[in-house]
């Protein structure tokens, strides 16, 4: 289902239209909720992750991830000024989990599984992953997925949210929309679109930060091999590996030029 058609369908069906444009790609995005609401949900989901006790927030490994994340976020702000990245107090943690995975939540919260580090291999690989995650935040994918779920499940959830009912179903739907929790089949094709968009934005952001975009090919090939483990976002939502590599290869000339212009290439 294409987003524009979703918006049009919403107009015809309910008589309200709420779309906005994704920075960098200019795609029409479904946008039914205020960003403050979506960000608060992301922060709540992140607090849940903290509460499960597997978060590592000190030591050399997390310092390395944070150092690279800082460069990537700063590059994202430079490349897409006014798109909202500067509004967040970014928080980046490592999560003690063997699966090769990372995730980003609305509100500027990023988690990297320890199992991702050997697959990322280098600072460049890690920067491309972190760029991808910042890309999800930049593009407002969490809010768009939440909006889609609202369309799918309709008034029940809207009503529950309006009266502040902290009912388990509402919570489940919100978490699923943010990519944490069970997934509804109808959302999956759209998530692949989100993944491609985050790949594009992330590649350019990592290049702007001075990292080597050519490392993206080997990185996503290694990630595809790792697929299948329990995961928050890569679980059945990642793009077809061949198409993903083709798309990245087509973006590389522009990414290399961005890196050269940044003056930060090592």
Chain residues that interact with Zn ion, rule: CB under 5 A? 195, 198, 233
CB 167, min distance to Zn ion, A: 28
Q: How far is the CB of 85 from Zn ion (least distance, A)?
A: 16
- Tell me the closest approach of the beta carbon of residue 132 to Zn ion, in angstroms: 5
Nearer to Zn ion, 161 or 255 (CB): 255
Contact 206, 131 (CB under 8 A): yes
Return d(Cα 266, Cα 71) in angstroms, integer: 13
The dihedral over CA atoms of 41, 66, 240, 76, expressed in degrees to the nearest 10, equals 80
The least distance separating Zn ion from the CB of residue 262, rounded to whole angstroms, comes to 23
Of residues 6 and 231, the one with the C-beta less far from Zn ion: 231
Torsion sign (Cα): 134, 138, 141, 146: positive
Q: Which is nearer to Zn ion, 202 or 210 (CB)?
A: 202
Taking the C-alpha atoms of residue 98 and residue 113, their distance in angstroms, rounded to an integer, is 7
**Catalytic: which of 44, 89, 133, 208?**
133
113 Rama class: left (phi>0) / alpha (psi -120 to 50) / beta: beta
Output 79 or 244, the one with its CB closest to Zn ion.
244
Q: State the residue number with the nearest CB to Zn ion.
A: 198
- DSSP assignments along 74-98, one per residue: HHHHHHSTTSSGGG---EEEEE--S
Distances (CA, A) of 45 to 21, 180, 207, 224: 25, 8, 30, 26
Active site residue 74: no
Residues designated catalytic: 133
């Amino acid at each position: 289902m294409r987003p524009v058609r979703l918006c049009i369908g919403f107009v015809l069906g309910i008589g309200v239209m709420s779309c906005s444009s994704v920075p960098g790609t200019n795609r029409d995005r479904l946008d039914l909720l205020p960003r403050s609401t979506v960000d608060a949900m992301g922060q709540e989901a992140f607090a849940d992750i903290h509460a499960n006790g597997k978060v590592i927030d000190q030591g050399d490994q997390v310092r390395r991830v944070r150092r690279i994340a800082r460069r990537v976020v700063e590059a994202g702000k430079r490349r897409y000024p006014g798109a909202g990245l500067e509004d967040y107090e970014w928080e980046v943690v490592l999560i003690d989990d063997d699966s090769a995975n990372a995730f980003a939540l609305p509100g500027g919260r990023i988690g990297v599984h320890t199992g991702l580090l050997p697959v990322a291999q280098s600072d460049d690989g890690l920067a491309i992953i972190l760029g991808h995650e910042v890309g999800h935040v930049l593009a407002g994918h969490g809010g768009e997925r939440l909006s889609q779920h609202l369309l799918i499940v309709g008034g029940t959830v809207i009503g529950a949210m309006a009266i502040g009912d902290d009912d388990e179903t509402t919570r489940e739907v919100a978490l699923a929309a943010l990519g944490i929790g069970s997934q509804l089949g109808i959302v999956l094709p759209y998530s692949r679109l989100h993944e491609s968009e985050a790949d594009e934005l992330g590649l350019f952001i990592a290049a702007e930060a001075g990292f080597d975009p050519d490392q993206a090919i080997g990185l996503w090939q290694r990630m595809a091999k790792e697929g299948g483990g329990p995961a928050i976002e890569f679980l059945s939502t990642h793009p077809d590996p061949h198409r993903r590599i083709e798309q990245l290869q087509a973006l590389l000339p522009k990414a290399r030029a961005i890196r050269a212009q940044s003056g930060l290439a090592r």
